[in-house]
Amino acid sequence: MSADRRERSLIAALFVSGFATFSQLFDAQAILPSLARDLQVGSATAALAVSATTTGIAVSVLAWAWLSDRIGRTAVMRISLIATTVSALAAPLAPTLEVLIAMRGVTGIALGGIQAVAMALLVEVLPRHRVPAAAAVYITGNTIGGVTGRLIAGPVSELWHWRLGLLIVAALGVVACLLFFILLPRSIEERVARPTTFAASLANVGHHLSRWRTASIYVQGFLIMGSFTAVYNYLGFHLTGAPFFIPAALASLFFLVYFVGAFAARVAGELATRIPPWFVVAFGGSCVALSALPMLGSSFWVLLLGITLLTIGTFMAHPMSSTLSGMEADRGRAQSTALYQLSWLTGAALWGWFGGVLYDRFGWVGVVWMSTALALGAIGVAVSRAWVTRMGLSGEGSTA
């Protein structure tokens, strides 16, 4: 297989892995209203079905990153997808909410292998100038997977049952897993394996956390993805209530806005080859903050504008931050990309749950204002890093 063909095959395999990950990560987001009604629980409690998965990924990514240094990035991704397929098929059969949450957590742990090493693999295998565009393709796979999972699980949960919705998405994950095994080039693994001790892996973690150059990336993901996830977790509740009263099956169509986000991710990847990446991140955060006012509107179309702006901003900031987590690492790249995954997933789980507390007490306005506060914090981090990079004050070299 030629180098160009191998590169295309690798990117296609990572696209499929992103599809599998996000279809099974956020499919539960679309069934929350149905789940809450069926099990007679509040919105924050129902949202634990989403937070459990993101938490499972968050607590496992560093262990997966260490394992990938021992046995290779692609070996970890294969194990991760197999484990994900099995756990995702079992989760819809859970007899109680507690068991469902636990199974969703197990699915998250399994998914952690993909999230921990995919970006590190890209950075190690591809030429540096090709990484942002390839990363955008991987994020596009995440996006399409997230949309597909939501669009299937949401309507099916309303027309039949939320268990069936989750089961169908899990079956799609089986197909994605098989495609990944077919597409992934066999010659990649030997190039990226880096045997290391667990102590050395922990030392890399401490090193990255002590550098503002990398730590700022993790803070960015914690804030911007917390903002994004909270809004989408409770959007279904908002759309099905006053003043819209949209049927839940139709409310799931709102997730089609993700395709606009996928386009924004590609644009961000191209922009990053012309201007400093942190300027792209700062612009994305600004879009998220500006989305607050239209999201509070009582008009359907004004709300759609706000959600679209939020999605565009997030899909510009998040993929670029994820890419930077690998590119900015001066050592222990797998640990750096895993730390970014840990950060944004922790933010998604924490703020995604706390948004429900605010929603139950203050309604949609509480979620929106929390989202805006988080976005403003993310803008502050991005602007400070962009300024430091531009002025050459980081003391660690210039940012690519």
For position 399, what pLDDT does the model report? 38
d(CA 337, CA 62): 9
For position 396, what pLDDT does the model report? 47
- Of 282, 258, 372, the closest CA to residue 25 belongs to 258
Per-residue pLDDT of the chain (400 residues; tens, 9 = 90+): 566 777 788 889 989 998 988 898 878 888 888 888 888 888 778 888 888 988 888 888 888 888 888 888 888 989 999 999 899 999 899 888 899 999 999 999 999 888 888 877 887 787 777 777 777 788 788 888 888 888 898 888 888 998 999 999 999 999 999 999 999 887 665 444 455 677 777 888 899 998 888 999 999 999 999 999 899 888 988 988 888 888 866 777 777 887 888 788 888 878 877 888 888 898 999 999 999 999 998 899 999 999 999 999 998 998 889 888 888 888 877 788 888 988 988 898 789 889 989 998 999 999 999 999 999 999 999 888 777 666 554 444 433 3
d(CA 257, CA 143): 10
Write the DSSP assignment of 287-325 as a string of letters: HHHHTHHHHT-SSHHHHHHHHHHHHHHHHHHHHHHHHHH
For position 370, what pLDDT does the model report? 95
d(CA 385, CA 215): 11
- Of 119, 106, 87, 101, the closest CA to residue 17 belongs to 119
What's the topology of domain 3-181+198-391? Growth Hormone; Chain: A; (1.20.1250)
For position 389, what pLDDT does the model report? 65
For position 190, what pLDDT does the model report? 47
Task: List pLDDT tens digits, range 250-278.
Answer: 777 777 887 888 788 888 878 877 888 88
Half-sphere exposure of 5 (CA within 13 A, CB side): 4
d(CA 271, CA 177): 32
For position 392, what pLDDT does the model report? 55
User: Can you say whether residue 72 is alpha, beta or left, with left for phi > 0 and alpha for psi between -120 and 50 degrees?
Assistant: left
d(CA 118, CA 122): 6
CA distances (Å), origin 334, targets 48, 113, 182, 195, 397: 28, 11, 24, 12, 21
For position 283, what pLDDT does the model report? 92
If you search the block for the tokens 């098929």, which residue do you land on?
Answer: 89
For position 294, what pLDDT does the model report? 95
For position 374, what pLDDT does the model report? 96
For position 143, what pLDDT does the model report? 80
- Of 210, 190, 217, 187, the closest CA to residue 327 belongs to 217
For position 3, what pLDDT does the model report? 65
